[in-house]
A and B are shown apart, each in its own frame.
Chain A
């Protein structure tokens, strides 16, 4: 018998290819890598908007470091000049004069800054929430003062060393009326820093632009007030059924414009008692002084959910 060699070759090749495919593909198909589990938080649209809003508010914190950096740069130059003056005086001229200027600035500067630094955190949050026009000038000036004072404190030692090389400024030190000169230099630093501060105020301004939304602190304060007034009975049966939603309309004076309205529904006597307890809490809570004028449109109408379920988890 004659066997067609090409047929044999063809069969052999097919067997090879199919056999290889069976083995390799079947082997691969077994290697199904287990999908990595990913932690997922399910949030509502409200929560997402709050989170994104949180970034905007986060900028309020950023302006502070920005101001410091800018201020650092400018005052560094001035401070360098001052410090170099002092040290040069020490080296070039008699030792007596240098210590005096060193002590004086150190004493004078730290004294004002301390109160300023303390006031600063207090003042800043207020302008963020409210829109006081005059305060804008004050916080900046205060910020500048505090920056001035803060910088000289650490810098005299650390940054004193590098500034020494620039000697051209040493000539300035020869000028008399050192105190007056120092005062003069402070003024320009304030102006220059105000320029830097304007940026920060601008960023504050932008946050104010979006700040017409109810802040979490306002809501938390209102929530805390209602929680303290909401009387819940211990041992009530089926607390999960006693979910009460109260709709309120508030006047700008933060008092109820109309009697609270229960918009959820339930028929049992227990539900009626729960609804009345919720209404009592809302009535007692007024005026809601924690709400700001700027956000009136946000709190003019509110739906307040009273949910006792979590209190009775056993």
Chain B
């Protein structure tokens, strides 16, 4: 999708502002020398409440753009609200109506409704049919612009523009990359429990734009995104043994990965997208293999009389984590990506499975089974700092958002019901259900699209 962007310059300050700024700078220069005997005050407890932010409808550049202006504001509002880090303020509370985004807003009227940040924007249909999107992010408390950008794109991609703007706001206010301009591939489940039809499906991270990639004639499991976001790898029960497939999202072309005698499963891409790591069944055991997608050469990584599966690369590609029952119960192990000595990192009660390494490298998420419950948790790659984020009848299959701060997983309440997708912050806060057309399981989050 062609999206071009330019940064909007800060609004020109008038002469008085500059003078005041100069005075402030002078005062701040004097401060250190004057401040001999300051009182020190240490604040160690803060407020983990979400940041109040006001997002008025984007101004319509022409009368026909009102609808898209409201739509963009709605998508941004929904994204930021679901992140748990922002509290969008109800538009009914707004005092000032933004009519011109090229003038500074009346900060006092936004302070009055306790907004700390304000987003103003404008959508304009260009003469060539393209859509121009402009936005500015304001710090209401300090009374200044934090960032401003403009984008050009085809009108049908207005939702993506809204996601990109959401990421800009998120990044400027948190300092971390956003994750809104991303997709999720999952297994869509429909029909009665005994005759469940499972199809591969693709959607935006907020549940919009659902597309089905397979027809549901064959059972599919464990889809995973490539770093390029253009391909997915997954396991499909075809005519013979279940095998690992590779599918191009845009063209729909698919192929079997490798030509192995037994069952192949639990595939995942390497961070550079050049290799696929997976499990191969050999008798009653399974071992880890990695295949180079260009040369098709296969390398064995483990050789044990146990079930080694669910491999996942560290973001730098030097190590992998995987699940193995070589010690009795399934546990999580870490070893060099080229094979070698594996080190067990999970030592809690119960068994651990489906490990996945965070894109930012600091945590490994897992499914933990014990005490009649399935939990989703994270631990550091050395096994320390284990933290359970959610527990229940059945929670499984965590996948990290591109910035490593949010996990998506599926939850099955049991009974005649079916699974659905949820997100949770890696601090365990802000659990949210992800809207899907039917039942859904096995989610995999893509990297950022742009």
Contacts and interface: CB of A to CB of B under 8 A. Distances in A.
A304 B41 contact: yes
A314 B171 CA distance: 25
B179 to A, nearest CB: 12
Given A230-B43, A231-B47, A273-B175, A237 B35 contact: no
Given A234-B425, A280-B141, A284-B141, A270 B39 contact: no
In the complex, which of the residues B35, B38, B39, B142 has the most CB atoms of chain A within 10 Å of its own CB atom?
B39
Contacts of A308: 44, 46
A273 B172 contact: yes
Interface stretch (B26-34, B222-230, B264-272): B26-34
Given A237-B176, A273-B174, A304 B43 contact: yes
A96 B441 CA distance: 96
A301 B43 contact: no
B408 to A, nearest CB: 15
Interface residues of B, number: 45
B40 A305 contact: yes
A117 interface: no
Given A258-B28, A261-B31, A234 B40 contact: no
A228 B49 CA distance: 9
A236 B174 contact: yes
Contacts of A234: 48, 84-85, 425, 427, 429-430
Interface in A196-232: 214, 219, 222-223, 226-232
B45 A227 contact: yes
B27 A249 contact: yes
A307 B44 contact: yes
A314 B387 contact: yes
B191 interface: no
Nearest to B50: A231
Contacts, number: 140
Nearest to B84: A234
A233 B44 CA distance: 14
Contacts of B171: 269
A235 interface: yes
A270 B41 contact: no
Contact of B38 (A259, A272, A303): A303
A233 B429 CA distance: 11
Interface string B135-167: 000010110001000000000000000000000
Given A280-B116, A280-B141, A226 B176 contact: no
A248 to B, nearest CB: 9
Contacts of A279: 141-142
A229 B47 CA distance: 7
Interface string A253-278: 00001110101000011111110100
Given A237-B362, A280-B116, A311-B44, A301 B34 contact: yes
B173 interface: yes
Nearest to A299: B39
Contact of A268 (B24, B46, B175): B175
A231 B116 contact: yes
Given A214-B39, A303-B40, A305-B41, A257 B27 contact: yes
Given A234-B427, A236-B176, A301-B39, 7 more contacts: A226-B41, A235-B429, A249-B35, A258-B24, A303-B35, A305-B42, A308-B46
Listed from nearest, the 4 A-B pairs whose CB atoms lie closest are A270-B175, A273-B175, A232-B46, A230-B46
Interface of B: 24, 27-28, 31-32, 34-35, 37-49, 51, 84-85, 116, 139, 141-142, 146, 171-176, 360, 362, 385, 387, 404-405, 425-427, 429-430
Interface of A: 46, 214, 219, 222-223, 226-237, 247, 249, 257-259, 261, 263, 268-274, 276, 279-281, 283-284, 298-299, 301-311, 314
